[in-house]
Amino acid sequence: MTNNHRILEIKKLRTVFTGNHGRFHAVDEVDLEVYEGETLGIVGESGSGKSVTSLSIMGLLPRSIASIEQGEIRLEGRELAGLSEEEMRRLRGKDIAMIFQEPMTSLNPVFTIGEQLSEPLRQHTRLTRKERKKKIIETLQAVGIPRAEEIIHEYPHQLSGGMRQRVMISLAILCDPKLLIADEPTTALDVTIQAQILELLKQIKQERQMAIMLITHDLGVVAEMCDRVVVMYAGKVVESAEVRTLFSDPKHPYTRGLLASIPDRNKRKNEMVSIPGHVPRPDELPAGCAFAPRCPEAQDKCLVQKPPLLRLDRQECRCWLYENVEGEVNKIAR
């Protein structure tokens, strides 16, 4: 973290979906902060609530089935929850931007790269057509795209996956947003291209002092990219810490299970470690701790009571293991 200027603050966010099985919480009382010039990693298995959190921030939830039931989402002090679609449209691309998982489905196949990159500049700036073209070419070159003058006249299907992802990054940073959300930005790419994209994001952060929220299930990416980490499970934050602390002294059994599953950590054993079971569906959560059915350290209390988020010396953790002898929790974080 380079300074204490807070870009994003989320308090008690609860996002509710309504479906055939009734109402359920996909995100439940999530708290997190992102500061200028830092990268915050959001990790967890599929179904943990990572992407729903990001869509809640961006105001991109499907309004017919999803809504923010409670909580605050503040971008530099401005409340985003409850803004109209028109008000959010003025912010997206300008103050807050997002890189999605799959660039081929995120880019419009019937418009050229130049036409798609022109849109946020038309919406958020007063640049002339000539100035917009110059800005687009400069941004494409900045993210390592060769022959940018030619690519602006091409269509997404004419580019490789790595080039499309670089175009998506260009689209996201064109208007210098304060916060960049990257949702699994390297998932569909091969290992070599992944490394290039991650290095590019690091470079962008350093040069522009941009706050980045990086959503991933890859702890190797977290170790390489992040300053702090939030671990999510079944819609809740179960642990948060600085990245070195999390890797050297993980507290929550779920975090320890994720770290144990990294192949490099098990070369001597010559085996792959995995967490048994799967993340429960939001409409099938157990009465107690959501991780208890999969937890090797679960106690009777874990099955019937939900643990609060506790503040420990260097991190926060949602687990009854850190209840003190008298049965009272250590300092409750929030």
Amino acid present at 73? I
| Mean pLDDT split into 10-residue runs, the chain, 334 residues | 82 92 90 96 94 95 93 96 92 93 82 96 94 96 93 95 91 94 84 87 90 92 94 96 96 95 64 86 90 94 95 94 58 44
Measure the CA–CA gap between 198 and 224, rounded to whole angstroms.
8
> In sequence order, what E strands does 49-176 have?
66-75, 78-79, 96-99
Q: Using alpha carbons, select from 237, 188, 232, 189 the residue that is nearest to residue 48.
A: 232
Q: Exposed, middle or buried: residue 289 (CB in 10 Å: 0-12, 13-18, 19+)? A: buried
CB 231 within 8 A of CB 298: no
Give this prediction's pTM. 0.90
CA distance 96 to 8: 10
**What pLDDT score does 327 carry?**
41
Q: What domains can you pick out in the chain, each with its CATH number?
A: 6-83+181-279 (3.40.50.300), 96-176 (no CATH)
Cα distance between residue 204 and residue 88, in whole Å: 24
Q: Which two tokens stand for residue 49?
A: 């609530």
Nearest to 213 by CA among 37, 92, 89, 88: 37
